[in-house]
Each structure stands twice: as C-alpha cells, then as structure tokens.
Amino acid sequence: MSSPHWLPIAWAGIAAFTVLAYIVLDGFDLGLGMLFLVEKDPRHRDIMVNTVAPVWDGNETWLVLGGACLYGVFPLAYSTLLPALYPPIIAMLLALIFRGVAFEFRFKAHSSRARSFWDLAFMCGSTVAAATQGVILGALIQGIKVQDDHYAGGWFDWLTPFSLFCGLAVTIGYALLGACWLVWRTEGELQTRARGVARPLAAVTIVCIVVVSLWTPALQREYLRHWDVWPRMLYVAPVPVLVGALVLIFWRAIADDTRHLTPFLCVLGWFFLCFTGLGISIWPWIVPPSIDIWQASSPPASQSFLLVGAVVLIPTVLAYTAYAYWVFRGKVGHELHDH
Amino acid sequence: MVAVTALGLARCQFAFTVAFHILFPSFSIGLAAYLAVLEGLWLKTGRQVFFDLFQYWLKIFAIGFSMGVVSGLVMSYEFGTNWAPFADKAGSVLGPLLAYEVMTAFFLEAGFLGVMLFGMRRVGRGLHFTATCLVSLGTLISMSWILASNSWMQTPQGYAIDPHTGRFVPTDWLKIVFNPSFPYRLVHMGMAAFLSVALVVGGTGAFHLLRAARKGKPPTEAVRVMFSMAMWMILVTAPLQILAGDAQGLNTLRYQPAKIAAMEGDWTGEGRAPEILFGIPNMQTERTDDAVAVPLLGSLILTHSLDGRVPGLKDFAPRDRPNATIVFFSFRLMVGLALLMLLLGATGIFMRWRRRFYDSKALHRFALSMAPAGFLALLCGWVTTEVGRQPYTIYGVLRTAQSVSPIALPGIATSMVFFVVVYFIVFGAGIAMLLRMMGGEPQPGEPGPNVREPTRTAGTHPGPAQGRPVGQAVRLE
C-alpha cells in the first residue's frame, strides 16, 4: 500500500497550519489569563475577559482539530506522542478545563469568594496550559524514543532543562501576545498598563527566542542540516532577518501611543517565524528523530477522504471565524457610546 | 476481588471522563433546539414571554455548553494517551470521522455561539436567529459524526486489515459512516437528548408551579408556557423513544447477539424463550440467580414471534462474553425510567383534559422528581451499549486488552486521582450553578447572559444591568 508522495506533505502543511492557528489564537487568550496576575481591578478583569469571550471557544477548537488530524492522518504520531507526553498533556487538559469554564463561571458566581476562586482558576489554568504547551514542544524537539512503533521511553523523559526552558519561553511569549492584544482592543488606563508590561515581556521573549534557537541544534545535530548548507541557507536566511526587522518595528510601535495594532501584529510575526524556523529544523520528521511524515501517515484512503473536506471546510471556517471577529470588532468598553 | 490492573484503570478513567462528557453535549443538543424554537416563536408572534424564556435558558445553555467543550477536549486526546495501540490501528478510520466532526460542527457551534450569547444588539434579530439555528445545527451534526464513529466500533464494515501492520484500511467510506447500527443509534440518542432536556425544562417549570402554589400566588405566564411546552414534548417523544429503542434492540440482536443475551440475562439460546424480568446474572456459575420470568415473552419482544430463537451467553466462549451482571441491570433501569416517562406524559394529557394541568400538585411533584430521569436513562443506555460491546473495542475485531496504552499503573492511577478531583470540583460547581439558575424564576424582561459585560457594569453610562433590561431594549429597537 504505497502512498502518493505529496499527500502526507499536504497534510503536514495543514497540520502545521492548524497548530499555528491554535498558537496565535489561543495564545493571546491564555496570555490574557496570565495577566490577571498583574491586573487586580475587577472592572479591568471583566473588560479583559470580554475582549475574548465571544471568540475563545473557536480559538480552542483549533487544538481539538489538531488532535483529530493527528489521530486520523498521522495515527502513528498520535499513538507515540501522547503516551510519551502523558503527564504534560493531562496537565494541559486539566488546566484548560479550569480556564474554559472560568469564562462563564466567574460571571455567574454567586459570592465574591466564589468569584475570586474562578478568577484564580482562570489565571492558573491559563498559566499551566501555556507552560505545559511549551514543555510539550520542548520534549518533541529534543526527541522521543520509539521502538517498533511504540513509545519506548520512561515516564519522565519529557522532563529536561530544555523542555522546562521551552515551557518558560512559551509562557512569556503568550503573556506578551495577551498584553499586545489588550493594547489593541482596550483603551485608557488598562491599555496603558498593557503597554507597560509588554515591554519587559518582549525583552525576555527575544532572549528566549535566541536561547532556544542556539540550544536546538545542540540536541539533534541533524536539525542544522537545512540551516548551514549552501545554497539552502539562502532560502532560510530570511527567517532570522525578519525576526530582527520585526523587533525594531515593535520597539518603535510600543512606545508610540498612536499605534494600537502594530505591536500585536509584530508579535504574531515572531510566533509565525519561530514556528516556521522550527518546521524547517524538524522537517520531515513528525516524531523526531525516528518517525517521518510518510511513516506516520494513515492509508491514502484516509488522507484523501479527509483532504477533500479540509480543502472546502477550513476556508469556510476561516471565513465565518473572521465574521465573528468582525461582529465584535472595536475597543471593548466603549460600545454604549455608539448608540 | 478483581485485581486493579492498568487496563482496568484505563477503562475506568475513560468511562469516568466520557460519562461526564456525554451529559453536557446531550444537554446542549436538546437545549439548542429548544432555544431555536423559542426564538423562532418570539420572532413570529412577538410575544415577550418567548423572549424571556429564551434569555432565561440561554444563560443556562452558556454554562452547560462550556462544560461540554472542556470535557470534550479531554476526549479528543484521551484516545491517544490511554488507547495508543487502538489509535494507531483504527485512527485511519475513526480519526477522519472525528476531524470531520470538528470541521463541520465544532467550529460552527463555536463561531456562532459568540453571536448567540453576546450579539443580539450587534447583528439584529434575523441574523441572531440564524446564529441560534446554526449553533443548534452544529450540535446535531456533531452528534451524527460521533455516533457514526461509535456505531462503527459496534458494527464495523467497509474496511480491510493490513496484513503487515494489523492496521485498519478504509475501503468504503459510505459503508463506514452508514454502518448497520448507525441510523438506529442516531435516532435513539437524538431523541434521548430531546427527551432529557424536555424533562429538565418540565421539572423546572413544575418546581416554579409548586413554589407559586405554596406562596399562594398564581404562576407567571413564562412558567406555565415552559411547563406546557415540555409536557407536550414528553408526551410525543417518550412513546417514540420506546419504539426507537425496540428497533435498536432488534438491530443489536442481528449484529451483536452476545450483547442481547447479556441484556436479557439469558444463558441458553432457545426458541419460545422466556423474558427474565428480574434476576442476578452470575458470570461464574453461568446462570441467572433468583430469576422471575414470563414464559414466551422473550421471544415475542425480541423476534416479534412466539417461537423465534433468542441467543444465550453460552452460545459464546467465556472470553467473548460481556459482563451480564452490569448490562442486565443498566438495561432494566433504562427501561423502567422510560416507562415512568411514558406515564408522566400520559398523566400530563389526562390533567389537561381534567383542566387541572396548572394546579395538580401530584403532577407537578411527579414532573419535578422526573427532572433527572432522562439523563439517568441516557447514562444507563450508554453503559448497556458500551459494556455490552466488551471484550472488544471494535466489535469482533480488536479486543480491549489489545487496545490499551503501555502506560504503567502508577501513572494511570495518578492521573485518575487528578481527573476525579478536578471533575468533581469543576463540574460539581457547574451543576450547582445550573441548579441555582433554574431555581430562579424567569422574569418579565429577563436579562440575557451578557449583563455583566463591562460596557454595562463598568462604564459611566448606566446600562441594562442597572436600568433597562436587555429584553426590553431589543423590543424597543
């Protein structure tokens, strides 16, 4: 049963898009949750939550799509990665449970104690979910031990200094996304405070990007193969160069009170470029360093069946998701003035 | 006693998480349809009472839906964490079905839920009604895909097995989706969701009718409308559901006779079989102790003839038998609850005829006590069909013991403890919140779920939360 060569490549592209969509969309939701740590004013907290309340569910759905795609399209990756990453995955799911219900529960809590509890759940759930996603990413990059199509490592293989550092990096990065989202979608005191926290967060994020970029090739020599070979170097060189350019633009925009959207777009750009860089490094593996996308693929009958739907449905989903964002456009906290 | 094994605990954990999960989407399926009907009636008749009820149940829907989302997220990863070999072998068939569910249903629900909850003032009535209908449609599409997937595990077809890897290879997607038990299960489960929500709505109405009577006040129009709509629904759906259950039973007899034998507590396959009403199936001694049986009824129910052959568990090797002790009782509990629902519907129509519908305390107490019956029956039915599928994950093809992940016992035990603690905190609090909201009476000019939106609580302008209720605001526009 030989698979056409292009089908797994197409699916790797869609899967990567799904993961990226999740990271950038739920990233700012989670980041905003973490910023509860520095924002105690209950009115500001309500505004923060309401900037994402109508859309967070759709954002999280990309994570479900990611799981379902892996399950249906790369089942071998699904069935080796999930046992290998069992503890952080379960921790992430439990954290997302607290975060998700807190959206509704905190508004409907019947006492101020209950409300504080769900605010805490929202903040901690967001933080743990972000940190575990980083740890999962780090554990994937450092490599998963596979033998005879089964996970062959131990219970705590995922726990290393590198994976913990990735956890920290993603947490800080999401918090930065959340802060920039607030700069865009809020105004007044809250916006000023978001601008204030964005600056140190951005500085730490940049340091993290540099450290992870240098640390990654040290884990698997092969990751360097697309970066240090002429002339392939030419194709990948724009990635670090663009990151540098966006850093400069970000720094001017964050200090400029008239720029509301630019910082957010810059940080989205960083995430996009880091993700692209990561993709270049691990290509064509899906479970480094043993399983590539062709080995992990389900039969062509499965991949083509789902591809037909994905080609039509994913653009449709993007269209009405854009509509939902458009319906709730504008600064939150100002709608009444429109009437 | 049975020793605790990693397999047993993995099954426990999956059963625990899915048992919680199954309740919330069922609630959403039924309630979304009810909300669409309420909003449609409001737009058609312009009667405020429908809008008040819509807003009242919309707040409850928002809470239930969020619990469905987060408990469902766990499911989409648990196939891999707990059942990795199963996912590896069957992911090629079940994964695409799940992915289609996400792409056609989850995004649709999530995309328009925001508009449904917060968008009334932003998009206008027509578009808002469209959003409500799309959310309801999403819940139905989602149910269809997940039941296609579940039914395929019960009655697999349209696949081949790769001789080298043992993996399933789909050969005919139409056969996979429209497998023999799918239509029956879809109808039975869909009606279960509608019936369960009708019972909850009816119970809520009954609660407020009783409270109004105790206070010596006449019940409000909203309470009467809610109770009446629910009781009509129960009257129509309960008998249909029993017919649907019978049809699914016949389908199961054809494709999964061992499950039927376990449900019936029958050990010997025979014609002119009795129906065991009560007894305790004993898996060790291979007999049903203390059985109370009605002669010939078993053949009559299952084959619709007196001398039709009914299977017995001894037709199957001991290692291929599902646990009859569990299935026998879960099935009977479900049937008993169904008969009570039928009785409730009949009592309701009788009281309408006697013109005592809104003041018969007996009817209201009965309806109130039946409020959780739908969900209880739904769980019993689910236990019957899933435990009845054992010892297989994919019936007749892949055994449960071959499906479990190579995760060590302490790992599963640790995560199990976390799941139990978190689920009881989160879903316990959530269900308490739902009950408290249902305990509050729907008010004229019922505020919507977005009353705490900061534009209305934090702004300098007094908002509907303090002044104008949203319902009236919308009417005035």
Residue A295 lies in a domain: yes
pLDDT beyond 70 at B390: yes
**Mean pLDDT value of segment B5-31:** 88
Residues of A in contact with B56 (CB under 8 A): none
Q: Is the pLDDT of residue B119 over 90?
A: no
What pLDDT does residue A105 have? 87
Whether B67 and A101 lie within 8 Å, measured CB to CB? yes
Q: Does A253 touch chain B (CB under 8 A)?
A: no
Distance CA(A278)–CA(A4), nearest Å, equals: 25
Cβ neighbours of A103 in B, within 8 Å? 66
Option in B85, B103, B411 nearest A309 (CB): B103
The enclosing domain of A247 has a CATH number of 1.20.1630.10
For range B205-226, the mean pLDDT: 91
Percentage of the residues of chain B whose pLDDT score is greater than 90? 38
How much is the mean pLDDT over chain B? 85
Q: SS3 of B348, please?
A: helix
| pLDDT value at B453 more than 60 | no
Are A155 and B171 a contacting pair at CB < 8 A? no
The two three-digit tokens of residue A234, written as one number: 């030419």
Which residue in A79, A94, A108 is closest to B88 by CB distance?
A: A79
Structural domain span for residue A219: 6-332
- A255 lies in some domain: yes
| Burial call A142-174: b when 16+ CB within 10 Å, e when fewer | bbbebeebbbbbeeebbeeebbbbbbbbbbbbb
Banded pLDDT at B191 (limits 50, 70, 90): very high
**Residue of A70, A101, A314, A316 for testing the chain B interface, max B β-carbons within 10 Å:** A101
Which pLDDT value is given to residue B404? 84
Percent over 70 (pLDDT), chain A: 97
- Of the given ranges (A91-100, B311-320, B401-410), which has the lowest mean pLDDT? B401-410
Closest chain B residue to A1, measured at CA: B162
A34 domain-assigned: yes
By the CB < 8 Å criterion, does B462 face chain A?
A: no
Asked if pLDDT for residue A174 goes beyond 60, the answer is yes
A207 touches chain B (CB under 8 A): no
Residue A56 counted as domain residue: yes
CB distance B77–A67 less than 8 Å? yes
pLDDT value for A338: 31
Residue A337 resides in a domain: no
> Touching check for A324 and chain B: CB below 8 Å?
yes
Residue B146 has pLDDT above 90, yes or no: yes
CB spacing of B406 vs A82 below 8 angstroms: no
What pLDDT was estimated at residue B460?
Answer: 32
Residue range A123-144: average pLDDT? Answer: 93
From first CA to last CA, the distance across chain B in angstroms is 68
Report which of A63, A25, A24, A32 is spatially closest to residue A48, judged by C-alpha positions.
A32
Asked, for residue A1, whether it belongs to a domain, the answer is no
pLDDT for residue B452 is more than 70:
no
A101 in any annotated domain: yes
**Cβ contacts of B70 on chain A, cutoff 8 Å:** 96-97, 100-101
Instruction: Tell me the β-bridge partners of B160.
Output: B169
The ipTM assigned to this model is 0.86
Quick one: pLDDT at residue B197? 96
Q: ∠ at Cα B347 (B345, B350), nearest 5°?
A: 110
Confidence of residue A143 (pLDDT cuts 50, 70, 90): confident
Minimum mean pLDDT among A67-76, B167-176, B367-376, B401-410: which range?
Answer: B401-410
C-alpha span between A109 and B433 (Å, rounded):
8
Distance CA B454, CA B465 (A): 10
Residue A203 falls inside a structural domain: yes
pLDDT at B3: 60
Tokens of B306: 């007196």
| Least confident piece of the model among B208-217, B328-337, B399-408 | B399-408
Residues shown for chain B? 477
Residue B451 confidence (pLDDT) above 50: no
- Compute CA B236 distance to the chain's CA centroid, rounded to the nearest angstrom: 18
**What distance in Å separates residue B86's CA from the closest CA in chain A?**
8
Contact between chains at B77 and A75 (C-beta distance less than 8 A): no
Of residues B440 and B196, which shows the higher confidence score? B196
Q: What is the 3-state secondary structure (H, E, C) of B200-237?
A: HHHHHHHHHHHHHHHCCCCCCHHHHHHHHHHHHHHHHH
Number of domains in chain A: 1
Residue A77 at interface with chain B, using a CB cutoff of 8 Å:
no
Angle A288-A292-A296 (CA atoms, 0-180°, nearest 5)? 110
Instruction: Express each pLDDT in A187-244 by its tens digit.
Output: 888 888 988 999 999 999 999 988 888 888 888 777 777 777 777 777 777 888 888 8
Q: Write out chain A residues lying below 8 Å of B117, CB-based.
A: 53-54
pLDDT digits (tens, 9 = 90+) for B25-55: 999 999 999 999 999 999 888 888 898 899 8
Distance, CA of A34 to CA of A174 (rounded, Å): 9
> Which pTM value belongs to this model?
0.87
Question: How many A-B residue pairs are in contact by the CB < 8 A criterion?
Answer: 260
Query: If contacts are CB pairs under 8 Å, which of residues 140-169 in chain B contact chain A?
Result: 162, 165, 167, 169
